[in-house]
Amino acid sequence: MKKVTPILFFFFISSGTLFADRGLIPHNPNVKVFNPTQRAMIAWNGEEEILLLSTDLRASEATEVLEVIPLPSEPTVKKGDVEVFRKATALINRKLRERYVRPGKGLDLSREGASPAGEVTFHEKIGAHDISVTHVLDKSGFIKWVEEYLRSAGVKNPTIPEGIKSVVSEYLDEGFSWFVFDAISLDEIPKTGEAIQYRFACEYLYYPLKISRTAEGDTSVELLVLTPRLLSNFPALPIGRVKLMHEPIAISSRELRGLNAEMDDLMGKRDDLKLRIWQIKGKLSSFDKDLIAK
């Protein structure tokens, strides 16, 4: 994992838009969809994960879009709080200031960060989101579900991008069978939606990356990561692509409860948790592996 000095304390606070990673199927196949930045918060206790996402996307022209998120097991889905991102970053900033500001000496930046066929099981409107959790057993089942959905939305000749078909086949081959579909409307102006929180069983920390390969351009993936210990085993995406933005901070149960009570419950109300920001950059087309860490 690449090291950096803790000079970038404020990049989460200073950005006003929040992005998350999904595969994108526009109703109009000629429309381009852009996903320039991806942000999320992940809490993983070794057996379960909470993934908090907030989406900001834009399209080359007005269109309805079906977003697709692959997950390793069936999730529970609920509305999240977008303020968690700001509060968590403010907590990191405060603790880093305390760590690096020495009395009478100002800010010390000399240290570097340490290396550290489908069945719909859930359907609900959450604000502007129309979310379905679907159990898919084969590629044809996935395609059939999406085509039926698009027809019900008024698309006469639904077209699924070949890239989406290919990457879904990869996920199915790897044992993934749960997909979240989220229907939204886009135009040329970026739109920020409500935060959505997913909780699911997972034997490793997980964030989907390769499902986004069909979107356009470059991206910067910025993740708030919370675990009981630091992680060093990255069996999919190479560890060299994951940049540690600052030295990890310790976070107590009381502090975490002020951010997200369900995450505090998930992590066992511990006082020795590690919170840090990871960043992954590159062309969307370059992501041929997901983020997996143990």
Closest CA to 271 of 243, 251, 287, 292: 251
175: left (phi over 0), alpha (psi -120 to 50) or beta: left
- The pLDDT, as a whole number, for residue 222 is 85
Say if residue 267's pLDDT is above 60: yes
Tokens 């996402």, residue? 53
Cα 66 to Cα 36: distance, rounded to the nearest angstrom: 18
- The pLDDT, as a whole number, for residue 9 is 41
Structure tokens at 105: 């000496």
- pLDDT, mean of residues 198-213: 92
The predicted-structure confidence for 117-162, as pLDDT tens digits, reads as follows 456 666 677 776 788 999 998 888 888 888 888 888 888 888 888 8
The predicted-structure confidence for 41-61, as pLDDT tens digits, reads as follows 999 999 999 999 876 555 556
* DSSP assignment of 56-72: EEEESS-EEEEEEEEES
- The pLDDT, as a whole number, for residue 20 is 38
